[in-house]
Chain A
Amino acid sequence: MNKKIVIRLTFILFAFAALLFLIFIGKKEKTTNLATLDTKPSERLPEKAIAKPVESLTKKPLPKGNTDMRLKVVEDCLQKKWEFSNLTQLKDQILLSESITEESIELENIHFTNINKENYRAQIISTDGRKELRLFKVLADGLPEVVELPSADRINPDSTTLAKYIDWGAVHWHQIQRKLKTALGNTLMIETIDSQVEKLDYHLATGTSLHCLTTECQCK
């Protein structure tokens, strides 16, 4: 191999490397600069005012707890697998919405996309009467990176504060974890995790448990 060939080969390799570098690395999104975000929270808002709503949601609004589907799954499970001595009574209790004596939302995950096609996730964590808002930007790897919020906005945010960070019109996924309580002799607990009907996980407890994921149920 003479010198010319070596130089040409080197040039080609570097050009190839540069091309690959641009394709795979150059496109990578920068990690959220927390220091900047910390001081200027409003500048990093996902431009919610001009965001386009996601099409599927404009046609089908988010279910609020999706009561019908939820109860259908429990009913199916009760009929198929639950060996309860007073099945009818139990079923009636669960199926009657007025038998639900307490409902508390414990966790909400809200996914939305702004007009720049940047994905954000908001999380509202409720603990013992205290709410905490967390905001994440989804990076190029599809995983979240925290967006620092001023503590005054983070703890117990009101609806105006939530609207400052969450583009409700551009939400494409909303998961609500809630706890329902109803009474049947001893307290019967039902905990559900709803997200647009794709996942339903029930815990019923009266000494025995019933778990359902979509329509597959298991009685323990």
Chain B
Amino acid sequence: MGFKSLLIYIFLLTPFFSYSAVWKSEKTWTEETQKDFSAWMVKEWRKDFFSRKKLSDGSPNIFYGLRLDCADTVYSSKIIFSYYNKYHFAINDPTGGKKLITNEMNRWDKLPEEQRITAFLKLIYNLVSTKSLPNDTYPVALNPKIISPGMVILTTKKNHHSWTIKNIFDTGIPHLIFNSTVGAYSSLNLQERKSWPNGDWVFEDDATPAGSAGIRNWKPQAFISDPEWKVPGYSEDQYKMKPSAWRKNLESMLKIKEESTSNRLKRLVENVCNDIKQRSEAVKEASQFIADNKVSCLNEADFDTYSTPSRDKRLADEFISLKEAYREALTNKDFSDEALIAQLHKIFPQPQDKISVETKAMPAQPVAGNSLCVIKYHSSKSGLDTSIDMAELKRRLFSKTLSSNPNDPEEVRFGEQKVTKDTCPSWGSLELNWNE
């Protein structure tokens, strides 16, 4: 026994004295970390990250079931990467405290590690928002050697939205993973799109550095508490161009090879269709919430969660991008996919006209053989499910008959009929505007 037994006693008692961090970090976040982070984002960050119960190796997904809004999604990408790769993680305390929020927090040291990381994430979700992102990130130069997966896109405060860059293809097109406002009924799936967002929307109201919009990178650990302009790599490039040119400039700067016209159109169709499906899910979630909670009018917080004005604005932007690409393709006569032309013609019968003019002249579009992206909504009035295609949805969207108001029944949300009597209170502007 003797000295040996003393060591054993000390070993056995050690857990009483020790604090456990959320995870034990072995590496600090530096500029070099960006390469590891980019590689991880391309490989691991996906829209079902929080909705799949098992990982590809069959092990349980400890992050299954977490519900995230857009800023939560952005922060999660960095936290989860840091957790899996044992990097130090730190952000500024959004409540104005001097202490950083880090993985060294020992508030949950009685929990096993898997529960500590989810408890940490839940704390972060309660603290962060698009308002805190400017303090933890900085705007980057428009340089193909700099812009990379793992970076973040932030809008101005007016539109308060953010995206993660999962990948950037050789064509200069990004693969973005993001989410919108979520409630208890929201899908666990994140959202995705394969195009840069509309610069007019990203920089709306403030296209200056003060707006904090554009592509931003995480501050290296050594500069985490410094103002953004002190971080090496800080650049105001993005504010020196017109917001309307931001997307095109990005694409042309980042592309290594040309995207074929046919692929471009198919990608943009996919973006529109994704947005339509996500909107459809959001509308159904609102109906479900109202039915389950037996409320006739939503309160302001629930109204904010289930209304869709930003989503509808983004959908309008996607339609406009598709129309512009289609018009350009017709002008250049550089694609000959007859089936696709017929499908697009159903949506845009007068491609040379402004979308509002075209929509006015457009008759109702029934589902047909050349329909794209057919979805169903439930009409509470008739008690039936109704199918609607991309062309008809576009017609209703740009004739302003779709409703972003979550108190409206599905047939009104989808523009089948206009609301006749609106007795519920409404918050914020629900009017759809677009730039063409």
Contact = CB atoms under 8 A, between A and B. Distances in A.
A139 B106 CA distance: 12
Contacts of A4: none
A17 B16 contact: yes
Contacts of B10: 13
Contact of A123 (B94, B107, B158): B94
B17 interface: yes
B160 A143 contact: no
B96 A195 contact: yes
B430 to A, nearest CB: 12
A152 B131 contact: no
Given A130-B427, A220-B236, A125 B97 contact: no
B245 to A, nearest CB: 16
B281 interface: no
Interface stretch (B80-88, B265-273, B296-304, B314-322): B296-304
Contacts of A123: 94-96
B428 A1 contact: no
A189 B210 contact: yes
Contact of A144 (B97, B209, B239): B97
A93 interface: no
Interface string B95-122: 1110101000111000000000000000
B129 A125 contact: yes
A20 B304 contact: no
Nearest to A205: B208
A179 B156 CA distance: 13
Given A138-B97, A143-B99, A154-B301, A31 B428 contact: no
A9 B209 contact: no
A125 B127 CA distance: 12
A146 B126 CA distance: 6
Interface residues of A, number: 54
B123 interface: yes
Contacts of B227: 201, 211, 213
B240 interface: yes
Interface size class of B (residues with CB under 8 A): 35 or more
A1 B5 contact: yes
A155 B300 contact: yes
B229 interface: yes
B6 interface: yes
A191 interface: yes
Contacts of B239: 205, 209
A207 B237 CA distance: 10
A10 B157 CA distance: 62
Contacts of A173: 96
B339 interface: no
A207 B240 contact: yes
Contacts of A25: 16
Interface in B343-361: none
Nearest to A119: B97
A5 to B, nearest CB: 9
Contacts of B13: 13-14, 17
A146 B210 contact: no
A205 B236 CA distance: 10
B97 A142 contact: yes
27 contacts: A1-B1, A1-B2, A13-B9, A14-B13, A31-B107, A107-B131, A109-B95, A123-B95, A123-B96, A127-B160, A134-B95, A138-B97, A139-B107, A142-B99, A143-B99, A144-B93, A146-B127, A152-B300, A155-B300, A155-B301, A189-B206, A191-B210, A205-B239, A207-B240, A209-B209, A211-B227, A211-B229
Interface of A: 1, 6, 9-10, 13-14, 17, 20-21, 24-25, 31, 106-107, 109, 111, 121, 123, 125, 127-130, 134, 136, 138-139, 141-146, 151-152, 154-156, 173, 175, 179, 189-191, 195, 201, 203, 205, 207, 209, 211, 213, 218, 220
Q: Shortest 10 CB-CB distances between A and B: which pairs? A: A109-B96, A205-B208, A203-B210, A151-B301, A191-B210, A146-B126, A211-B229, A155-B300, A121-B95, A144-B95
